[in-house]
Structure 1
Amino acid sequence: MAESQEIELKIHFGGSVKKIGKEDYEYLGELGSKNVEWKFDEILWDRFVDFCKEEALIRAPVGLIWFKSEKEEMKQLRYLYDRYDEEMLMLRSVSKLGIDVVVVFVEHECSEHIPGVIQLSDREHIEDEEHSENDDVDRPKEDDEPEGSEDKNPAEKEDNPTVNPAEKEDNEDGGDEVVADVTDDTNDVRFQSVFEEGEKAVLDKEAYGNGIEEDDSEDERAPVDVEYLDTPVESEDEWEEWNRKLKGKGKVNGSDKYHGDYEKPPYIWLFQKFNSGLEFKDQVLKYFMNTQYDVKMARSESFRIVEKPINKWMVKVCHMKHNHGKSSRISMLKQCVIAVLFREELRINVNLQASTIKDAIKVRYDIVVPISKCYRGRDIALGTILEAQTTQFWKLWDYEEELRRSNQGISTDLCTREVNGVQMSDCFYIFFIELRTAWKSCCRPVIGLDGCFLKMYPIAWTVVRGENKDTWGWFMRKLKHDIGLEFGKDLTVISDKQKGLVHAIELELSEAEHRMCARHIYANWKKLGFSRSEFKSLFWGVAYSYTEGEYKEKMRLVEAYDVVAHNELLKTDPERWCRAFFNVESHCPDVHNNLSESFNRNIKMARAKPMINMLEDIRRQAMTRISSRFFTADKWDTIVTPITMALLEKARCAKKHCSTIRSGFSLYEVNEFDCGYMVDLATHQCACRRWDLTGIPCKHAVCVLDDNQEDPVKYTAEYYYTHVMKRTYSDNIKPVNGKNLWKMIGKPPIGIPEIRKPRGRQEHDIGRKSHLKRLKLLKNCQDIDAYPHVATVISLDTLKLDAKTKLWFMRDQKISVADLVKI
């Protein structure tokens, strides 16, 4: 673009930019806008200042100039903060890209009241509140600003401290009485002596920081008593030299860089004070992390930090220039530091992953941390947040009492057993009365049992030592008593083939229909060698068969493909996992226990926590889901649920190949591809068994209902109605108070049960051994006085080894064939 070519600018003035959320911005307090066409070489800072004074009639100084292209969003704003030509190159570069219109937002600032000028808040306050170090737009930092740009008060830019003019004349004449008003808050001590025996006084860090950042306006200053400095009593020349050195404290190259804020650059400055060595190390770490300079501590000993009898630590030598480049790895950033940095975030979200912590450190500080260090830091932080497992087992009695207080009618059973005189936790059963009432009145009579949780609508849960006949039998007896199942008539139970669970169901719920999870059946069948994709399709074709005729046809396909696979599949008892043999009273066609498995996955993080935290997470997950499902169902405006409506629409589309023939008052015959199906509207049955098993009209029933001009929704089972769904989730689990509000019942504490070892021979980790020893076939005798020989005489011929193995055997045992013969 030529220098003389014009570009259109849409300038907004009179307002200020405010950040919304983490990324977006908005321009508030706008007084107006105007479109102008400027040449490329006319885009200067002073041109914008003159425009605001002449066109907008705003005399307030310009603080920042924000700009973007017309098509960009507000979160893509960029800014200019100074009048140097180098800064204007950013705006000019946007103009060179061929953009037709550039939108400019002029942000004003005002240090004192001017008639006719909009009053804005202080720029430093806006930068602190609205532009944090996490903003996508990089704000100008103090180290990058030109000299004199930090301090808005002109009085603070002068070389000498503010002195009353009358007193100044007296000082020039006599030089004895000097009153230097160097603080904005005269109640604070400005200076104090930090060197003994006549060494020069230096600035106190806190007082110096407050003096720079406070407003020094004369009309706001109240006359107060001024505390005097340690004035030297020597000659006037010595006083001037002392005062000149005093002005230089806290300055680099004459500019006020050290503002006293430990959270802003440069983080470390000369004569900075600390209360302890640990505080100094924390500040050094902050400097390293924000500047990416990796510097090792020359000496750091605990006794030098703790035992040294001093009140303050001071930076006496400070070399800010580094002879090496920046690094993305900081040696001082150890796992304990990571634990401190993310302790509060883990307190809010204990499920915070180590990978998330690693990414957060990379984004915030541009530092790369090993994932293993993040894992250790996360564990350290969680250890300080979560109570120890032992402490939580002690509080189980109090937790049970709080559950009973907050949830009236709840059924709990905390069982212990005595081991070596100590009561150890054995099992803990929890059953909420609200869940039982909703399940019995609104849910289908189906219960999914698994090693961790119950079906989609949780009824009860328990914590036990392990899955076996005793624990499953105890749990089934408690559940049968609380729900009133008796022997399980018209009840359907879905579970895996865990031996203890199968035995408990047969013993406690003998009249219930017990289905096996088809996914577990297929996994076991697959291990026998039938893992090809063809076997998978054949297996699920058998499992999804609705009628016995369809089942037999699918089994013949399996037999034709592989006879061995067919025979092994018959051994799995298909009546337990094939739809053709399911009871239609439950209106549930499920052949698997996926919903229970999904709950296992959801509570995976909770199971890694201590006892009470785990139980509370499970309770809160159940309470959250019930509440969420209720509000979701409350928004539905259909008679049946949306999923049921989708299934009915699918059946309506599939009926185009069906034709009906009326038989009686409610009996019909439906033909589909030369195959007839009997439909009975009175009993809600169809020969295909889909309507019987699901409770939702199939395509044959929908065909008959459409011919009769009836709504299929009226023939849908009540379980799928929206009002039933709302009633199911209307009553929720009651909230529970925190540990500090629990009632202490004074029962003896419960111990942690011993770790249960798995059955069978323990497998050794071969990878941890330095080397593997060769397997010895003979065992040496333990009698050290006797001649070295084997304990049991074994002939090499009896072992039936080849010649090479025999030589290896004799070399390993360090004996000869002659020795074996003598023995």
Structure 2
Amino acid sequence: MSTIAKEIESTMELNPGIPIKVLQDLIQKKYQVHISLKKIFRAKVLATKKVQSDFTTQYLLLRDYCAELLRSNRDTTVTIEVEREFNPTTESRQFKRIYICYGCLKVGFKQRGGEVLGLDGCFMKGPFPRQILTAVGVYGNNGIYPVAFAIVEAESSSSWTWFLQCLGNDLDLNIRSNFTFLSDRKKGIIPAIKKVYPSIEHRYCPRHIHENMKIKWRSNMFKNMLWKAGGQSVMDYSTMYDMAANGIEGGIPESWVDEVYWLSTWKKVNENTIDPINGKEMWTPSACPTSLLPPEHHTQIGRPKKARKKSVEELSQKINTGGKMTRKGKAVTCQVCKQKGHNKRGCKERGPSTSTQPTSQQQ
């Protein structure tokens, strides 16, 4: 029984709610042996206890990990928030949220000089599902530059407000800062930005705008118009060629773009690196007098989906299924009338079918 439990541990970590029948099929196909549902059920119980115990242990070590992180990476910010405890004599606290901003990323983002931050959230699966909130900048070559992240109970106005306040403390933002946030149109994030930074400009991601727009306007023409509008530029490089053609000195190319896009700025930003930490055997125990317990398991908002929701672009792509290309989106052509929209079985011009088999005569 313990052998089967060890075999399904990794699967249970990724998908704790996986059905027993699915586990049975996975084991039987892998080892070509028959295993009863009863054995799979008992193995799943053992694996669940092992996985949850491992996660609980990780939460107990979280304070020690944060202390080691602060030791190895100076100027790093780590903020842990626990659930409210009405009994102050209790020796344990229940985890609620954690915010982390590496010192090197904080410094690098300030050296870059950009004033645009992208905000987003995603699900974190496991026995104690949470939400991950992130704040990222953009490199001079349009690459993603991570700034800070947090693990919170849910993507709500309260959690986003807390995350933005922590982020503002690290990036020296205030209520009147000249800054731009880019995000989707989730209900929780919009009121949080208005509350914490009412003077900051808030723009929406074109991809998410298109996801909402395509409900009524599905044509690629509207999509191309949207992306064209979102990609309009302050300056056209053809001006430099025109100046050169007319004998006007245009200067070096760097003088025409912001310092954010200079190669020297890119090198300066990448000089900041995240330093590795020691193994947990070498961690210094945290001085906090209380131990940290994992959060209560709660079901995430919304109906659980069996499969990830795909965008229109993904659905329009050709998918390889077993060596054959899908016929989805292709018009069927009738072999009889050569018209599209039906095959020969449903063709009205096809005459009555005649059987090629000889009929038996009754003696």
Per the normalisation by structure 1, the TM-score is 0.28
Do the aligned partners of residues 463 and 700 (structure 1) sit closer, same or farther apart at CA in structure 2, a change above 3 Å counting? same
User: Percent identity of the aligned residues?
Assistant: 25
Do the aligned partners of residues 383 and 752 (structure 1) sit closer, same or farther apart at CA in structure 2, a change above 3 Å counting? closer
After superposition, give the CA deviation of every residue in 1:708-755 in whole Å (9 maximum; x if it has no partner): 364434423222222211111111112111222111135322222223
Match in the other structure for 2:59: 393
Contact kept? 1:705, 1:712, Cα under 8 Å: no
3-state SS of the aligned residue for 1:397? helix
- Mapped to 2, the partners of 1:413 and 1:531 lie a distance apart of 44
Alignment of 1:457 with 2:145, yes or no, is yes
Deviation at 1:387, TM superposition (A): 6.1
Contact kept? 1:424, 1:750, Cα under 8 Å: yes
1:282-293 equivalences in 2 (<5 Å): none
Write the letter of the residue equivalent to 1:418.
R
- Mapped to 1, the partners of 2:148 and 2:44 lie a distance apart of 32
Deviation at 1:699, TM superposition (A): 2.3
Contact kept? 1:691, 1:698, Cα under 8 Å: no
2:161 to 452, 456, 473: 473
3-state SS of the aligned residue for 2:145? coil
Alignment of 1:741 with 2:282, yes or no, is yes
Match in the other structure for 1:410: 76
Deviation at 1:756, TM superposition (A): 3.2
Match in the other structure for 1:518: 206
3-state SS of the aligned residue for 2:293? coil
Alignment of 1:731 with 2:272, yes or no, is yes
1:473-492 equivalences in 2 (<5 Å): 473-487=161-175, 489-492=177-180
- Mapped to 1, the partners of 2:134 and 2:44 lie a distance apart of 28
Contact kept? 1:403, 1:736, Cα under 8 Å: yes
Do the aligned partners of residues 705 and 503 (structure 1) sit closer, same or farther apart at CA in structure 2, a change above 3 Å counting? farther
1:679-690 equivalences in 2 (<5 Å): 690=233
Deviation at 1:700, TM superposition (A): 3.4
3-state SS of the aligned residue for 2:170? helix
1:590-605 equivalences in 2 (<5 Å): none
Contact kept? 1:393, 1:750, Cα under 8 Å: yes
Match in the other structure for 2:222: 538
Deviation at 1:501, TM superposition (A): 1.0
2:296 to 749, 754, 759: 754
Two-structure CA RMSD over aligned residues (Å): 4.0
Contiguous gaps of at least 5 residues in structure 1: 1-333, 352-357, 546-578, 580-588, 590-688, 766-823
Contact kept? 2:6, 2:47, Cα under 8 Å: yes
Match in the other structure for 2:109: 439
- Mapped to 2, the partners of 1:380 and 1:722 lie a distance apart of 55
| Bigger radius of gyration | 1
Do the aligned partners of residues 338 and 425 (structure 1) sit closer, same or farther apart at CA in structure 2, a change above 3 Å counting? closer
After superposition, give the CA deviation of every residue in 1:684-711 in whole Å (9 maximum; x if it has no partner): xxxxx6244xxxx532343324543644
Deviation at 1:502, TM superposition (A): 0.9
Deviation at 1:526, TM superposition (A): 3.0
The answer to which structure, 1 or 2, has the higher relative contact order (CA under 8 A, 6+ apart) is 2
3-state SS of the aligned residue for 1:538? helix
Contact kept? 1:690, 1:698, Cα under 8 Å: no
- Mapped to 1, the partners of 2:48 and 2:249 lie a distance apart of 64
- Mapped to 1, the partners of 2:278 and 2:223 lie a distance apart of 50
Do the aligned partners of residues 380 and 517 (structure 1) sit closer, same or farther apart at CA in structure 2, a change above 3 Å counting? farther
After superposition, give the CA deviation of every residue in 1:463-517 in whole Å (9 maximum; x if it has no partner): 1111111111111111111111223533211011112211121122222221011
Per the normalisation by structure 2, the TM-score is 0.60
Match in the other structure for 2:17: none
Do the aligned partners of residues 338 and 393 (structure 1) sit closer, same or farther apart at CA in structure 2, a change above 3 Å counting? closer
Do the aligned partners of residues 337 and 505 (structure 1) sit closer, same or farther apart at CA in structure 2, a change above 3 Å counting? closer
Write the letter of the residue equivalent to 1:752.
P
Question: How many residue pairs were aligned?
Answer: 262
After superposition, give the CA deviation of every residue in 1:86-139 in whole Å (9 maximum; x if it has no partner): xxxxxxxxxxxxxxxxxxxxxxxxxxxxxxxxxxxxxxxxxxxxxxxxxxxxxx
Deviation at 1:380, TM superposition (A): 8.3
1:700 to 226, 239, 247: 239
Contact kept? 1:480, 1:486, Cα under 8 Å: yes
- Mapped to 1, the partners of 2:48 and 2:273 lie a distance apart of 30
Contiguous gaps of at least 5 residues in structure 2: 15-24, 122-132, 137-143, 307-363
- Mapped to 2, the partners of 1:518 and 1:744 lie a distance apart of 47
3-state SS of the aligned residue for 1:467? coil
- Mapped to 2, the partners of 1:437 and 1:505 lie a distance apart of 23
- Mapped to 2, the partners of 1:718 and 1:521 lie a distance apart of 30
Write the letter of the residue equivalent to 2:225.
G
